[in-house]
Each structure stands twice: as structure tokens, then as C-alpha cells.
Structure 1
Amino acid sequence: MLVVEGLTCRFGTKAAVDNASFSIAPGTFVGVIGRSGAGKSTLLRMINRLAEPTSGRILFEGTDVTALRGKALRQWRARSAMIFQQFNLVGRLDVLTNVLMGRLAQIPSWRSLAQVWPEQDRALAMSALEQFDIAQFAAQRADQLSGGQQQRVAIARALVQEPDIILADEPIASLDPRNTKIVMDALLRINKHFGITVLCNLHSLDLARTYCDRLVGMAAGRVVFDGAPAALTDHIARELYDLEANDVIGAAPLPAPDGATVPALGSVAAA
């Protein structure tokens, strides 16, 4: 269970996140929604401890995440994998090495510096690439891939961390509709197949309603809605999105998520 208690983050006099409180059960797909500048990204970065809370607590399975330091903090960041809008890949490195970066917390630093990766980690990374149909790009430079392919590499990197939670910060903001669906389907398969909790910032209300079990709506740094997608009426959505409401309400619905089953992590490499 992830519990956020009175979480606040201030930059000077401005509260990017203001007294946010909620809890998330394991295995849930939660969408964090709201207009630009609502505090969604800051919230996820605080959960991963990339941003420091001004006050409040983050608890996971009884551990106070806000108190972690040193090795314990590095281990938490491995358990709460981040996926970023701009992919955060090392463009000059090949795809397989980028995915293997997700194993850094599990191996001695000399191995990563020398790029001497254990065979079981290489097999795990190849299996993750197979999951998202990009294993054929394993030896290719990451910066030679399309945006959608790079985001799938970033998701594969997060998966090999073997995390408890995936924090996806606007993962489809720079993608076209086809790649948006591919990436969202990939996150949904991770959630449903592996039971990994997904907390995903989304600007699109249609995406949130299509993919998420639960929505947390933010406005001006505060949590103003927390419930099932069906409970988010157009009236509430207009209050959430204000001047941006017409851009996110009433758009054509997306195709249903791809429900095809995927092999268990490791099974492809072992075949």
C-alpha cells in the first residue's frame, strides 16, 4: 500500500503540491489528471524522491519513504521506477544497454562502468524488449528510434528494475495517436500481467477514462477528485480543467486497449 499524507512541495511562496493525501492499493492503475501546472509531475517526482517534500509523508508498506537516505533511498528509487515524457535514454548507447541501466541498483558499479553485465541480466533485458516487440532494435543506437519506440525502450528499462510501482510522468505527451495507444497498452499489460501498480500522469481525460481503474484529479496543487472514472462527470471535469476543458471533453473515444496476453518476463529469453 502506498500512502500519501499531507504532502506539500513549495517553491518559494508557491505551493506546487498542497496538502495532498490519498492511498493506493497494490496492483491498481491510477491516472493523475488535471490541467498543465496542476502539480501532477511534482507529485510523482516527490514519490520517487526526485523532488523533496516541504512537509507531509510518503509511506510504502509501512516504511517512511520521506526519511530514506543513501543506499535505502537508491533501493526505493529502484522499486519505484520512473518513466519520463522525454524518455531519458542515452542516445549514443544501444537499446539493450539502455534497458540494462534498469539493473544498476542490483549490480556492483564496476560492472556497469565496464559494461560487463551478468548473463541473466542480459537475458532479462532481451525478454523485456521482446515483451514490447522491439527486440530487433537491441543493437541499434537509441537515438535512431522513433519516439514511440524510444518510449517502449524506457518502459522495458523500468520493467527490468522489477519495481513495485511504475511512475509514468506524461509518457505519451510527445507521441502521435498510434504510438500513444501502443505505449498505453504496454503500461496496461504491465499492470494486469505482472500486478505492478501504475501511477500515470495524463493530460487527456479520454485516455484516463479508457485505461485507469481510478482517477486522482488535481487543481492548483490540491487533490480535488479521487474516485472511479465513471464518477468523473463532465461538470467535475470542467472544474478540473477550467479553460482547457473544451480540449479534453467530448473528443472521440479511443479504441479499446489491446487485451492480448504477453509471455511472462523471462520466458522469451529462456525459450
Structure 2
Amino acid sequence: MLVIEGLTRRFGGKVAVSDVSLTVESGGFVGVIGRSGAGKSTLLRMINRLQEPSEGRILCDGRDVTALRGQALRDWRADCAMIFQQFNLSGRLDVLTNVLMGRLNKTSTLSSVLRLWSAQDKAMALSALEMLDIANLAAQRADSLSGGQQQRVAIARALVQEPRMILADEPIASLDPRNTKVVMDALLRINKHYCITVLCNLHSLDLARTYCDRLVGMAQGRVVFDGAPEALTEDVARELYGLEAGEVMDAAAERPQPAAAAFAAA
């Protein structure tokens, strides 16, 4: 269980996240929603310790994550894998090597520098690519892939970290509708099949209500909604999205079932 207590982050005189307290049960798919600048990305980056809180604590199963240093911190970052909006791949390297980078925390320094990956690591990486239907791209350079394919490579890299949690920061922001569905289906499939907790920042209420079993709505750095998707009212949507609320609510009225929902029910 992840427990966030009074988390605050200031950048000079600006408060990006203000006194956020949340409890996240293991195995859930939580959508963090709100407009750009609401504090969603800063919240996820603090959970991963890519940014330090100005105040507050992060606890996981009773362990104070905000106090971790050295190897313990590196282990935590492996436990809560990040997926970024801009993929963060090494374009010059092939797809398989990019995925294997997710094994760095479980590989000796010499082996990682020389890229002496074990047969087990390679099998794990290929299995992750196969699950995401891109194993045939393993030998291609990452920069030769489409945006949707690159994001699936980034998801495979996160998966081979063997995380207990995936933090996805606007993972579909730069993708077209078809690739958006492919990537969101992949995250849902990982959540249901491996029981990996997913916290996913999303601007779109439509997508959040389609894929997530819980929504956390942020506005001006604060949590203004926390509950089931169907409990989010028009008034709360207006608080979250301002003038965009009408469009957001209309778009969410009719939404297709994600492909991974059928997988989960099988």
C-alpha cells in the first residue's frame, strides 16, 4: 500500500503540489486527471523521488520512501517504474537494448557497461516485447519507430524492471487515437494480468473513465476529487477543467470498451 501524507512541492514562490494526502491500494488502476499545470506530473515525480518534496512523506508498506538514499533509493525507483510522455529511449540503440536498460538495477556495473546481458534478461525482454506485439522490432533502432511503437518499447522497459507499481506521466499525450488505444490497452493488460498498480496522469476525462477504476482529480496543485469514475459530477469536472468541462463531459458520454477489458474477464 502506498500512503502519501501532506505532500507539498514548491518551486520558488510557486506551489506546484499543495498538501496532497492519498492512499493507493495495491493492484489498482488510478487515473490522475486535471488540466495542464494542475500538479499531476510533479506528484508522480515526487513518488518516484525524481523530485524531492518540500513537505510531507511517502510511505510504502510502512517504509518511509522520502528517507531513502543510495542503493535503497535505486531499488525504489526500480519498484515504481516511470513511463514518460517523450518515451526517453536511446534512439541510436536497438529496441532490445533499450528494453534491457530496465534491468540495470539487477545487473553488475561491469556487465551493464559492456552490455553483457544474461540469457535470462534477454528472454525477459523479448517476452515483454512479445506481449506488446513488437518482438519483431527487437533489432531495429529505436529512432526508426513510430511514436506508438516507441511508447510500447518504453512500457516493455518498465515491465522488465519487475516493478510493483508503474507511474505513467501523460503516456499518450503525443500519440494519435489508434496508438492511444494500443498504449492504454497495454497498460490495462499489465495491470490486470500482473496485478501491478498503475498511476496514470491523463488530461482526457474520457480516457480516464474508460480505463481507470479510480480517479484522483487535481486543480491548482490540490486534490479536489477522489473516487470512482461514475461519481465524478459535472460540477467537479468544471472545477477540474474550467471552460473545457462541457467538451470533456460530452466526450465521455459514449466511450468504447478497451480491448484489455475482454482480456481481464477471460
TM range (shorter): over 0.9
Measure the CA separation in 2 of the matches of 1:68 and 1:124: 28
**Which ranges of structure 2 fall in alignment gaps of 5 or more residues?**
none
* Paired residue type of 2:35: R
Partner secondary structure for residue 215 of structure 2 = strand
Verify the 8 A CA contact 1:35 1:244 in the aligned structure 2: no
Verify the 8 A CA contact 1:89 1:142 in the aligned structure 2: yes
Q: Which moved more, 1:161-170 or 1:235-244?
A: 235-244
* Paired residue type of 1:71: Q
* Paired residue type of 2:255: L
Matched with 1:87 is 87
Partner secondary structure for residue 21 of structure 1 = strand
Matched with 1:266 is none
Verify the 8 A CA contact 1:20 1:223 in the aligned structure 2: yes
Measure the CA separation in 2 of the matches of 1:248 and 1:143: 33
Matched with 2:258 is 257
Measure the CA separation in 2 of the matches of 1:99 and 1:116: 14
Measure the CA separation in 2 of the matches of 1:246 and 1:173: 20
* Cα offset, 1:13, TM superposition: 1.1
Partner secondary structure for residue 103 of structure 1 = helix
* Paired residue type of 1:125: A
Matches within 5 A, 1:24-173: 24-173=24-173
Matches within 5 A, 1:168-247: 168-247=168-247
Verify the 8 A CA contact 2:147 2:175 in the aligned structure 1: yes
Cα-to-partner distance string for 1:130-173 (whole Å, 9 max, x where unaligned): 00000000000000000000000000000000000000000000
Matched with 1:269 is none
Measure the CA separation in 1 of the matches of 2:204 and 2:189: 20
* Paired residue type of 1:75: D
Partner secondary structure for residue 91 of structure 1 = coil
Q: TM-score normalized by structure 1?
A: 0.95
* Cα offset, 1:247, TM superposition: 4.0
Q: TM-score normalized by structure 2?
A: 0.97
Measure the CA separation in 2 of the matches of 1:221 and 1:255: 31
Cα-to-partner distance string for 1:99-148 (whole Å, 9 max, x where unaligned): 00000000101111101101100000000000000000000000000000
Identity %: 74
**Which ranges of structure 1 fall in alignment gaps of 5 or more residues?**
263-271
Verify the 8 A CA contact 2:224 2:236 in the aligned structure 1: no
